[in-house]
Chain A
Amino acid sequence: MNAIVVNPLPPVSSPQAQRRAVWLVVFCTFVVAVAQILMKSGADYAKAHPGLIGIVTNPVLVVGYGLYAVVTVLIVVAFKDGELSVLYPILSLSYLWVTVLSFFIFHDTLNAYKLIGVTVIMCGVAVLGRGTKQ
């Protein structure tokens, strides 16, 4: 459930590779959002089977965690070519996608507080990310 933490590597890649890394991370934020949608669906379904057993025997949750495993690998690949201070804040886009997707799929309420909250969190992550720049 936590954001993936990867040790930063000094950027030595070409501009093209760095751009590719940015798009790869943007793609990852979509995959994370889909994984979260699956986790919410699976959590509703797992109400009858609490605990770890209810998770590992739940196909929707297993696929959700599988997507997280894929994203972890992709992010490690992306962080090889891109700068941490650029890529890390981009990861927080997943909060925005989840807010939008939950509105359409689960009919979550969408209000000004939520949009302000998500926007401010993304700004906060961006500031934290800039802070990693040496």
Chain B
Amino acid sequence: MTSTPLSSILLVLLGSFIGSIGMVFLKKASKDMHKGFLHIVNVNSAIGVTLFVISSVVYITALRNGQLSVLYPMVSLSYVWAMFWARLVFKEPLTKQKFAGLGLVLVGVFFLGLGS
């Protein structure tokens, strides 16, 4: 198996980032659920699902070249983006524990990059 090109790694970064924005819209959509299950079908959920589809296409494109064992664990970067949006959009508290978890994920992804 050939080594993993930087272009594929960047595509996974992009895909996970787009997916995390999708997650923000789904989270917004889920707030309308208390009005009844059908209220989950709204503009926010449509945007969220569309962004998930786009992120999937980007991810599959990334997988065309390079090793799955490098690229798939890098999807864990979506945790980092999610925490960023949680803080920025939903004003969720950023605790020391979350910070430590994020740091570990980033260090792990860095090691994967070294091993690619």
Contact = CB atoms under 8 A, between A and B. Distances in A.
Interface of A: 1-3, 5, 7, 36-37, 39-40, 42-44, 46-47, 50-52, 54-55, 61, 65, 92, 95, 98-99, 102-103, 106-114, 116-131
Nearest to A36: B72
Given A52-B53, A55-B57, A121 B78 contact: no
A99 B112 CA distance: 11
Closest 8 CB pairs of A and B: A113-B115, A124-B104, A121-B108, A117-B111, A128-B101, A120-B108, A127-B101, A117-B112
A1 B74 CA distance: 11
Contacts, number: 158
Given A61-B60, A95-B72, A114-B115, A102 B101 contact: no
A108 B104 contact: no
B55 to A, nearest CB: 6
Given A5-B23, A50-B61, A114-B112, A131 B97 contact: yes
A98 B111 contact: no
Contacts of A42: 60
B56 interface: yes
- Name the residue in B52, B68, B102, B115 with the highest tally of chain A Cβ atoms < 10 Å from its Cβ: B68
B30 interface: yes
B23 A2 contact: yes
Given A116-B111, A119-B108, 8 more contacts: A2-B20, A5-B82, A92-B76, A95-B72, A113-B111, A117-B110, A124-B104, A127-B104
Contacts of A92: 76
